[in-house]
Amino acid sequence: MVRLPLTPAEVERGQRLGALLRRSRGCRSMLDVALAARISPETLRKIESGRVATPAFPTIAALADTLGLSLDDIWAEIETGRAERTVEMQPVLPVVRRPSLVL
């Protein structure tokens, strides 16, 4: 699969996300947070450094849960650099559905 180059806005948003995650992690080690979120430490390092500017939604959801962050606050922070937005500007996030077992 070929990925299109990121726009400057996407790169900047990824850098804001990485900074937010580093601040939220505080004194916890990268390894502890990554294992608690069930992602690899390398993935967390790449997100925090901005090398992965557009991580998958389940990855962000797992990190938010581990760090005690709300997805709305994360979105507001990375989209505008501040934690206040109006309802009309909230993104539509995909619903993550688990496969059901049919017997």
37 φ, ψ (degrees, to nearest 5): -85, -5
Cα 21 to Cα 3, 11, 39, 47, 100: the distances in Å are 24, 15, 14, 8, 32
Domain boundaries, the chain: 8-80
Q: What is the pTM of this model?
A: 0.71
Measured from the Cβ of residue 19, the count of other Cβ atoms closer than 10 Å reads 15
> CATH number of the domain at 8-80, please?
1.10.260.40
Measured from the Cβ of residue 86, the count of other Cβ atoms closer than 10 Å reads 6
Task: From first to last of the 103 residues of the chain, give the pLDDT tens digit.
Answer: 787 888 898 899 999 999 999 999 999 999 999 999 999 999 999 999 988 888 999 999 999 999 999 999 899 888 876 544 333 434 444 445 555 555 5
Contacts of 93 (CB under 8 A, 6+ apart): 57, 71
